[in-house]
Chains A and B, each alone.
Chain A
C-alpha cells in the first residue's frame, strides 16, 4: 500500500508529509513532521493531551486520520509563541505555576487558546467546562484555571489599549 502525500499549513508554514491511510494525525505530527508537543495520553479522545487546532477547530489529533489534513491549516503548541514572545497563556502558566509534570500542558495551552479565541472573557465555570476535555493529574486544575483567567485579563487589556 503506497503512502499518502499530505500538503497542509502547520503553524503558519507550508508543510508536506507522507503518512499511512490509517495513521492518526497525532502520530503523523509526531513521527512524520517531528512536532512532539502534542502527546498521546490515551489515544481515545479522553485526555486532550493531543489537542491541536485544524481549520479553526479544536481537535483531539488522536481521533483524526492524517490524510484528512490535506489542504488544512493546523496549529500546535509549537506555534503558540511568536518568536521569543510567549503567548500570554504560556506566560501565565509559567508565572502561575500552572504545570507540574508538564505532559498535559501543551494540550491545555492549545485548548485554552481555542477557548479564549471563542470566548475572551470566560467565567470560572466556563473555563472549567471548556477545559474538561483536558485531563491534568498533577495540579487539581486550580492553578491552570487561574492562569487562564490571568491570561484572559491580560489579552483583553491589551486588545482594549
Chain B
C-alpha cells in the first residue's frame, strides 16, 4: 500500500475485520432473491419476442389462460398507457412491450401458474401476431440515410440546429476548449486512429429474480435482488401507475450487479401477475434471458486525433465517439465525451459524441459506463505517441496528467486528486521492471471515473447491551456492510464486531439511491457518520445527566463519555453503561443521518499488464498484473483490493474474449457462459492491487468510491501489452485469438499504424 498523504491514525478504519454477513455467505444460509419462497406462490414466466424488430399486431392469450394451473396472464394492456415524453417512457416500454418489440428477447406478456412447468407451457401457448420490421443492428445501419427509424418520436437532443426529423440518434454531446486548429498547428506529431467495440454483459452470476405478494388491500411486497430497492419501488410504481406507498421492497442479498441491477425488469410483471391472481408470484430469469434481455454495455465506434509537441506536451485532441445504447436512448456517448480527455491536460479540444439506438437489448450501466472504451482509444494512442517520441509511457503520462487545479473537460478545476501518485506507484513497482520472456509484452494504461454522491440514509440504534445496529438503504454488493460498521465503530468508539450493519427495506430506513457510481461507502458512509455524530451528541447528553454535570463538560473519547470539567474526578461512562440506563435518561438511543452527498472525489487508476502471445495461434495469456488506484482512504482495504481485482478481471475479459454475437436477424448467438466467455480462474494470474490514498477532502474519512475505476485501464493495458509482444496494434474488440493472429499474419509483426 502506498500512503501518499499523512492521515489521522484510526482504530478501526483501515483494518480488515471479517465481514458481518460473511458467515451466512460461507454456510449457504444467505438468502438471495431466488432462494425465497412464499406459501401458495405461483411461478411467473415471461413471453419474449423472437424478432429483433416487429410491430405487435395482436396477442391472443385465451388458450394460455385455459391451460392447467394457469392463474394469470398479462400483456402491455394490463399496464397504464405511456406516451413519449413520459419521464420513464423507455423503462416502461422496455419492461413490457406495447405496440412494438425492439429486440430479440423483449418481454411482451407474462404468465403465472401453479408450477413453473405449467407456466412454461402456457407461455408457449400465447399467440402473438407480428409484423416483422427490418432490424437495425449496427451503428452504420442506424446512421444510414435510409435507415428504419426505431422510434418515431426520437428527435436528436443536443442537435444544433435542432432536429426536425426523427432519427436513430438520441443525443449529440459536444464539448470543446481552446482553438482546435491552432492546437494541431502547434503539434509536431499528429495521429488519428479508429476503434470499434462490441456490446458486453456485466455477467453477474445471479440471474434477476423476485417474489411479489399483492394483498387484497392493494398493497404489495416485493423481495428482490437489486442495486437499489428504493428505485425498484419507484420504478415499479411508475409502471403500474401506483403510489409508492403501495409497494414495500425488501432487499434480498444481491449476487453481483456491476450496474446491471440499477434498473428493473421483472418486478412490475410479478406484481401485476400477483394482483391478478391474488397469490404471491415468483419470477426467476434463466441465464439465456439474462443475456438476451438485460444489461449489455454499449458497443462503439470511436475516432480520435491527437496532437503533441516534440517535448511530449499534448496540445490538441479531437474525438468523434458513437455509442449504441441498445433500443433506447442512453448516456453512453455523453459519458464517453465526459471521460475521453478528462485525465490529461489538452488545452485545445473538440469532442462530439453520438448516442445511437439499434435493435438490441436496452443497455444498462456497467462499471464506469463508457469510460473503458474511451480509455482503450486514448491510452493506446498515448502509448503510440510515447514510443514515437522516445519517452517512457509513464513519464509521458505524468507530464500530461491532470492535477489539482487543472481544468476538466467540462471546465471546472479538479480538487485534490491522486492520478500522478497512481502513476508513480506503478512506475516504482517491481512489476514495471520485471524481465519479460520471449513473446511477452508489457502494457500500461490509466483510467478515470467521476464517482457520484446522491442521497443516502442511515439509522443507528443502540441496543440495551451497548451494541449498535446500523441500518442503511444501500444493498451490500461487495462488502459495504463491513465498511459501514468500521466507520460507525470509529465514530462511536465501540468494537466493530459489536456493530450489526443491516440493509433496511423501503419501510425501515430513509430514502437511499441506488448503489451505483461507486457511491455506497462514500455517500452512505457519510450518512452513517452523520448519524453516529448525532448519536455521540445524544450520548454525551445522557452521560451528563447520569454524572449530573453540564454536557459541555463531557467529551467523547474512545467510546466513553469523559468528564473534562473541574468538579473533581468522575468515572467515565461507556456506551453500555449509558444504554443500560437509557430508560431513566430519556428513552431509547437512536439517531439518523440522511443527506445528499456532495463532493464525490474522482478516482484514478493505473495498471500494468504483462502477457504472452502465442505467435502461431494468437492466444493471449496474462502472466503478471499490477493495479494502482486512488481510494482516498481505504475503509476496509481487503474489499478495496477486491474491487480493484474484480475490475481488472472484468476488463481483461472485455479486452480478450467477451462480446455479444448476433446473427443477421439480430438473434443473439452466444447467450450462455459457454460462448460468452468471462474469465475463469486459470485465465488470470494473481492481481497485485496497490491502494493509493490521497484523501478526498469532501468525506469525513477521505473516501473516494473504488467500485468502478478499476475496470477502465485493463483494455488498453492489455492492448498495449499485445503490441509489446507482437508489434501489432489491435483497434477492434475483443482482441480474440482470431484477431491477434490475423494482425500478426497480415502485419508481419510490424507496427499496425
Binding site for B on A (CB under 8 A): 20, 30-31, 35-44, 46-47, 49, 76-78, 80-81, 86, 90, 93-97, 99-106, 109, 124-125, 127-129, 131-146
A103 to B253, Cβ gap below 8 A? yes
Greatest chain B CB density within 10 A among A40, A95, A144 is at A40
Taking A47-B205, A135-B205, A142-B687 as known contacts, 5 extra A-B pairs with beta carbons closer than 8 A to each other, sorted by chain A number, are: A47-B673, A86-B26, A135-B680, A140-B684, A143-B638
Q: A157 to nearest B CB, angstroms?
A: 21
Given A78-B27, A99-B26, A100-B479, CB of A141 within 8 Å of CB of B681:
yes
A101 to B478, Cβ gap below 8 A? yes
B684 to A41, Cβ gap below 8 A? no
CA distance A20 to B572 in the complex (A): 66
- Which of chain B's residues has its CB closest to A46's CB? B673
CA distance A31 to B282 in the complex (A): 13
CA distance A139 to B642 in the complex (A): 5
**B17-25, B124-132, B698-706: which lies at the A interface?**
B17-25
B687 to A140, Cβ gap below 8 A? yes
**B28-36, B341-349, B422-430: which lies at the A interface?**
B28-36
B673 to A42, Cβ gap below 8 A? yes
Q: Is B16 part of the binding interface, using a Cβ–Cβ cutoff of 8 Å? A: yes
Q: A16 to nearest B CB, angstroms?
A: 19
A37 to B27, Cβ gap below 8 A? yes
B206 to A101, Cβ gap below 8 A? yes
Tally of contact residues, B, Cβ under 8 A = 60
Q: Is B1 part of the binding interface, using a Cβ–Cβ cutoff of 8 Å? A: no
B18 to A95, Cβ gap below 8 A? yes
CA distance A101 to B478 in the complex (A): 5
B205 to A103, Cβ gap below 8 A? yes
Residue in B16, B258, B646 whose CB lies within 8 Å of A140: B646
B681 to A134, Cβ gap below 8 A? yes
- What residues of A have a CB within 8 angstroms of the CB of B479 in the complex? 97, 100
B27 to A90, Cβ gap below 8 A? yes
CA distance A80 to B73 in the complex (A): 42
- What residues of A have a CB within 8 angstroms of the CB of B202 in the complex? 137
Given A101-B206, A102-B30, CB of A142 within 8 Å of CB of B639:
no
Show 24 A/B contacts (Cβ-Cβ < 8 Å), sorted by A: A36-B34, A40-B207, A41-B206, A41-B207, A86-B27, A90-B27, A93-B22, A94-B26, A100-B479, A100-B639, A100-B642, A101-B256, A101-B478, A103-B205, A103-B255, A105-B25, A124-B686, A128-B681, A131-B681, A135-B205, A140-B646, A141-B684, A142-B689, A143-B641
B681 to A44, Cβ gap below 8 A? no
Given A46-B673, A141-B681, CB of A104 within 8 Å of CB of B645:
no
CA distance A40 to B26 in the complex (A): 16
A90 to B26, Cβ gap below 8 A? yes
B148-178 contacts to A (CB < 8 Å): none
Residue in B19, B31, B682 whose CB lies within 8 Å of A128: B682
CA distance A47 to B257 in the complex (A): 16
CA distance A134 to B256 in the complex (A): 15
A135 to B673, Cβ gap below 8 A? yes
Q: Is B674 part of the binding interface, using a Cβ–Cβ cutoff of 8 Å? A: yes
Q: Is B672 part of the binding interface, using a Cβ–Cβ cutoff of 8 Å? A: yes
Q: Is B203 part of the binding interface, using a Cβ–Cβ cutoff of 8 Å? A: yes
Q: B564 to nearest A CB, angstroms?
A: 40
A77 to B28, Cβ gap below 8 A? yes
Greatest chain B CB density within 10 A among A46, A80, A124, A140 is at A140
- Which of chain A's residues has its CB closest to B648's CB? A140
- The 0/1 profile, CB within 8 Å of A marked 1, for residues 206-223 of chain B is 110000000000000000
B270-313 contacts to A (CB < 8 Å): 284, 286-287
CA distance A103 to B206 in the complex (A): 7
- Which of chain A's residues has its CB closest to B27's CB? A81
A42 to B287, Cβ gap below 8 A? yes
CA distance A140 to B204 in the complex (A): 13
A40 to B28, Cβ gap below 8 A? no
Q: A112 to nearest B CB, angstroms?
A: 10
- Which of chain A's residues has its CB closest to B638's CB? A97
CA distance A131 to B254 in the complex (A): 22
- What residues of A have a CB within 8 angstroms of the CB of B648 in the complex? 140
CA distance A9 to B266 in the complex (A): 36
Q: B200 to nearest A CB, angstroms?
A: 12
A39 to B34, Cβ gap below 8 A? yes
- What residues of B have a CB within 8 angstroms of the CB of A41 in the complex? 205-207, 255, 287, 673
Q: A13 to nearest B CB, angstroms?
A: 15
- Which of chain B's residues has its CB closest to A127's CB? B681
Given A102-B25, A135-B680, CB of A142 within 8 Å of CB of B673:
no
Q: Is B180 part of the binding interface, using a Cβ–Cβ cutoff of 8 Å? A: no
Q: B33 to nearest A CB, angstroms?
A: 10
Q: B566 to nearest A CB, angstroms?
A: 48
CA distance A38 to B35 in the complex (A): 10
Q: Is B487 part of the binding interface, using a Cβ–Cβ cutoff of 8 Å? A: no
A132 to B681, Cβ gap below 8 A? yes
A142 to B645, Cβ gap below 8 A? yes
Pairs A-B, 7 closest by C-beta atoms: A37-B28, A103-B255, A102-B25, A140-B645, A97-B638, A140-B649, A46-B673
B635-663 contacts to A (CB < 8 Å): 636, 638-639, 641-643, 645-650
A138 to B478, Cβ gap below 8 A? yes
- What residues of A have a CB within 8 angstroms of the CB of B287 in the complex? 41-44, 47
B642 to A44, Cβ gap below 8 A? no
B305-326 contacts to A (CB < 8 Å): none
- What residues of A have a CB within 8 angstroms of the CB of B255 in the complex? 39, 41, 101-104
- What residues of B have a CB within 8 angstroms of the CB of A142 in the complex? 641, 645, 684, 686-687, 689
- What residues of A have a CB within 8 angstroms of the CB of B26 in the complex? 77, 86, 90, 93-94, 99, 102, 105-106, 109
Q: Is B678 part of the binding interface, using a Cβ–Cβ cutoff of 8 Å? A: yes
CA distance A127 to B685 in the complex (A): 12
- What residues of A have a CB within 8 angstroms of the CB of B37 in the complex? 31
B645 to A139, Cβ gap below 8 A? yes
Q: Is B477 part of the binding interface, using a Cβ–Cβ cutoff of 8 Å? A: yes
- What residues of A have a CB within 8 angstroms of the CB of B205 in the complex? 39, 41, 47, 49, 101, 103-104, 135-137
B19 to A97, Cβ gap below 8 A? yes
Q: A20 to nearest B CB, angstroms?
A: 8
CA distance A142 to B674 in the complex (A): 22
Residue in A35, A101, A143 whose CB lies within 8 Å of B254: A101
CA distance A105 to B32 in the complex (A): 12
- What residues of B have a CB within 8 angstroms of the CB of A43 in the complex? 286-287
Residue in A49, A81, A138 whose CB lies within 8 Å of B642: A138
CA distance A90 to B203 in the complex (A): 25
Q: A34 to nearest B CB, angstroms?
A: 9
- What residues of B have a CB within 8 angstroms of the CB of A146 in the complex? 686
B464-494 contacts to A (CB < 8 Å): 477-479
Given A44-B672, A47-B673, A129-B682, CB of A137 within 8 Å of CB of B646:
yes
Given A94-B23, A138-B642, A140-B687, CB of A100 within 8 Å of CB of B207:
no
Q: A25 to nearest B CB, angstroms?
A: 16
Q: B39 to nearest A CB, angstroms?
A: 13
CA distance A77 to B28 in the complex (A): 6
CA distance A133 to B21 in the complex (A): 25
- What residues of A have a CB within 8 angstroms of the CB of B650 in the complex? 137
Q: A17 to nearest B CB, angstroms?
A: 15
Greatest chain B CB density within 10 A among A31, A35, A38, A47 is at A47
CA distance A78 to B35 in the complex (A): 14
- What residues of B have a CB within 8 angstroms of the CB of A132 in the complex? 680-682
Residue in A36, A93, A131, A136 whose CB lies within 8 Å of B31: A36
Residue in B29, B636, B647 whose CB lies within 8 Å of A37: B29
